[in-house]
Structure 1
Amino acid sequence: MTPYSLENYEKYKTVKIRPVPLPNKNQDPSHGQFQYVQLSWRELEPARGEFRIEGIEEALRAALNPILVLMPDLPVWVKNDADDCFAALIRKVGSYIGSDRRLTAVLISTLSDSKEEWNAYIEAFDSQTMLAELQNDRLIQYVKEHSCGFGLLVRCSEANWIECCEAFAVQKLQHVWKSHPVVLHVTDLACGPNIRREALRWHASLSNVNAGLGYDLALRRLTYPETVSSHGSLPLRFWFANTGSSRIYRDFQICVQLRQGEVSYELPLHAATHTWLTGDHVHNEMVPLPDMSPGSYTLSIALYFEDRSYVALNIQNRQQNGYYETGSIQVEITHEDPLTNIWDTYYPEGYYPLEDPVVPEQE
């Protein structure tokens, strides 16, 4: 590619950052594995109406990506209407947990697959992710008919992986992963080659064993101007790539930090990260800058979840409190900002604007 190619055309001097991936990156279990939090009905409600659910918070805190399972073992006091009694417990636990973000998902486990129990989960855990067993076709059909979002729990082994593939196809579940997680429960002692291959095709995000699942997000390129104006505009062009097996299901936001010594400015961006699946993601944004003292600043980026924990990127750049340093930028005091309308006549990816083609004259 020559220096005069369109790829290298810029109307202002830019800095192009191409971070290097981490060498021999180890799988981070914080987003690739899960643990069950199994709660016994017999222990949660030893007597009718007497609930002991205070220990749920500690159980969620101790587990890695906890998936809640309410075990429908009958207490001794249950004599009649067991389905209704278990549904009442589901509603009680759901109201107690609420929208607690520590809970990754809740498995729809029932006493007799009754609609009363299903409705209890749908109503009580409406702010949580619910998982349906892949082989429970009646439940899947029911939640589809009621337009309820749901993820999948796939119990898979080297002996039944073909049946799991057929269940995905018959029930048309290939696209569930785009909005809700597919969770893999390996019933063998280890994840075999057929399970691993199909888990990638199903875009599974979590597993009970280390199967190399989850997102793997990296910053491939960042382009920004060498110099900007105080109280002016900062045009940013990002290229991210998620080479993992699944998307990121929690909401997160891109933030940019400009730091000079002890002074720093945090600039939240407006990227539609909720639409990011796997593969490449490009985001261009013209960021307004506050009044800043002139000089050189360190430009860093972070991807923060709502609780201020951060997305770990697969890059070698120095990281502090979630912010990855990318480079330096010069801030100047100017009478007018030359970058405010730079993208009106100039494509942000570095290409000349093209006119619409003219229809050839018919002979």
Structure 2
Amino acid sequence: MPRAIVTREPTTSSARWRSAFAPGEVIQRVRPKEFAGWLPNPHRGTTTFQRFNGDPLNPGLTWSDKDGPTVFKRFAGNLTNPDYPDTTISYCRWVWAALEPEKGRFRWAMIDGALAAARARGQTLQVRLQPYASDSGLPPWFWDLGGRPDRALEHSGDDVERSRWEPDHNHASYLRHWGALIAAFGRRYDGHPLIESVDIAYAGNFGECGGNASAATSRALVERYRRSLRTTRLISMLGTHGCRYGARFPDLGWRHDCFGDMSAYGHGVVPEGLAWNSMYEDIPRGIQSGRVADTWKTAPVVFETCWTVGYWEQKGWDVDYILAQGLKWHASVFMPKSSFIPERWRDRIDAFDRRLGYRHVLRQLTLPLEAKPGSRVAFWLWLENVGVAPLYRDYALALRLRQGRTSTVLPLDLDLRTVLPGDAMLTGSFVFPRALRRGEVEVHIGIVDRRTHEPVAELAIEPRGPDRWHPLTRIDVL
């Protein structure tokens, strides 16, 4: 068991707590009330897009995939997102030309500014470096230094125009120069505590579909990301060669950028309602062909809306079906483009958000009513994850014993990364701190950083303390 950390806090007092127990009782059972509301927990839930908590939403049904933030306003103290779920994650993308306007000259100030803005707004930052966005984004110097267009497009009729701005991703120049950008980014930012994840958006328009990159090229580019970002979480793009290759690495998550697409219009070619779309074909086929059906057990699944939720409503798509599928596929993160959530769907989106990722409920904790300092205290704990995925960070579930101004934090022997949806039970014991004086000691529970023992997330139980610790009960100190 990790070494306990002792801290000093303000003194508290209470009325006698044990009067409800008969004289012969030695065991107490703690059954907290489940909390049904939103929790400001990290690494899960809805994200903002190209902006941060408190920023205005995109107008109407609009958004920009390519225009990542470059100017950062001073934070005014307002974290609310009207017509949008509360969030602890921001998601930002920048095209290559914005990041490296001249060969070897990187505009890291944009990334630094975004990280500072995220910190001020209580968010971490998901990042995508994207090669290009439609007909813009590739730096002009790329062509000057030997970049070659995708020649196959020149002979494909309607795609001749694309051949003027879409590169051949298999050419050595692309691998060399794009790979150099990823390596430089990794040298500066790998392991940064505020970077939630980085997309393996190695090729294609917006970095989404892999362009014309072959399986061999895709493997080489994925390995460039893995070598450059050894600590930071990486997220593959579902349906690409790179995602299929990355499926062998349990720490690589995946994302799909057209979640919610129910367009199935026949256009006189197939029966109405039976055309190809993302929700019935692209996502489930991608999960199957990419061999990522079980990835959620060890790495996060991320969904970005196809268009916006407002557009779904406009088209009359079945939002209940869409959201149920997202939960069935074990999503941890949802990115609806910082676009308004229709009022009549807000409750359903909020309920969906609350189940994303992990959500831990303490069902019962059994402890003795009294103990002597230095003795071993036995306990039994029942924790339920009512979310749809585990917590992927190595945080610890811990008890805090507080008496007067003295606190001792005791991490428990339970790896939260292994707590999948459902029950986790733990029988264990800990040494009752020798420094405790005769009287009472308060017992709290929390999710803490293993190194600092500071709380980092909340359980879905009441009461909720202002310091993220949940008060549970007391034990008499003999």
With the shorter chain as reference, the TM-score category is 0.7 to 0.9
Which shifted more, 94-103 or 116-125?
116-125
Q: Give the aligned partner of residue 92 of structure 2.
A: 37
The one-letter amino acid paired with 2:407 is S
Q: Give the aligned partner of residue 231 of structure 2.
A: 127
CA distance in 1, matches of 2:366, 2:431: 16
- Structure 1 residue 216 displacement after superposition: 1.7
Aligned pair partner of 1:53 in 85, 104, 108: 108
Q: Is the 8 A contact 1:255 1:268 kept in 2?
A: yes
Aligned pair partner of 2:255 in 133, 140, 153: 153
* SS of residue paired to 1:250: coil
CA distance in 1, matches of 2:383, 2:238: 32
- TM-score in terms of structure 2 length: 0.63
Q: 1:329 to 1:270 in 2, by over 3 A?
A: same
Q: Is the 8 A contact 2:446 2:455 kept in 1?
A: no
Q: Give the aligned partner of residue 142 of structure 1.
A: 245
Q: Is the 8 A contact 2:256 2:303 kept in 1?
A: yes
CA distance in 2, matches of 1:205, 1:87: 29
Q: Work out which structure has the larger RCO, using CA pairs closer than 8 Å and 6 or more positions apart in sequence.
A: 2
Q: Does 1:194 align with 2:321?
A: yes
CA distance in 2, matches of 1:68, 1:318: 32
Q: Does 1:174 align with 2:293?
A: yes
Q: Is the 8 A contact 2:130 2:201 kept in 1?
A: yes
CA distance in 2, matches of 1:242, 1:144: 25
* SS of residue paired to 1:329: strand
Aligned pair partner of 2:27 in 1, 14, 17: 14
- Where does structure 1 lack aligned partners over 5 or more consecutive residues? 1-10, 333-363
Q: Give the aligned partner of residue 303 of structure 2.
A: 184
Q: Is the 8 A contact 2:382 2:423 kept in 1?
A: yes
- Identity %, equivalent residues: 24
Q: Is the 8 A contact 2:388 2:420 kept in 1?
A: no
CA distance in 1, matches of 2:457, 2:41: 13
Which shifted more, 234-243 or 114-123?
114-123
Q: Does 1:250 align with 2:387?
A: no
Q: 1:84 to 1:309 in 2, by over 3 A?
A: farther
- TM-score in terms of structure 1 length: 0.81
Which shifted more, 198-207 or 57-66?
57-66
Residue-by-residue CA offset, 1:274-314 (whole Å, 9 max, x unaligned): 31111111112210123121111111111113573422111
Q: Give the aligned partner of residue 26 of structure 1.
A: 38
Q: 1:234 to 1:32 in 2, by over 3 A?
A: same
Q: Give the aligned partner of residue 206 of structure 2.
A: none
Q: Is the 8 A contact 1:297 1:330 kept in 2?
A: yes
- Structure 1 residue 330 displacement after superposition: 0.6
- Structure 1 residue 148 displacement after superposition: 6.4
Q: Is the 8 A contact 1:19 1:219 kept in 2?
A: yes
- Where does structure 2 lack aligned partners over 5 or more consecutive residues? 1-23, 48-89, 132-136, 147-172, 204-210, 264-277, 313-318, 337-348
Aligned pair partner of 1:204 in 331, 334, 341: 331
Q: Is the 8 A contact 2:399 2:443 kept in 1?
A: yes
Q: Is the 8 A contact 2:244 2:291 kept in 1?
A: no
Which shifted more, 275-284 or 174-183?
275-284
The one-letter amino acid paired with 1:127 is T
Aligned pairs for 1:75-154 within 5 A: 75-78=139-142, 79=144, 80=146, 81-111=173-203, 112=211, 113=213, 114-115=217-218, 116-136=220-240, 138-144=241-247, 147=249, 149-154=251-256
Structure with greater proportional helix content: 2
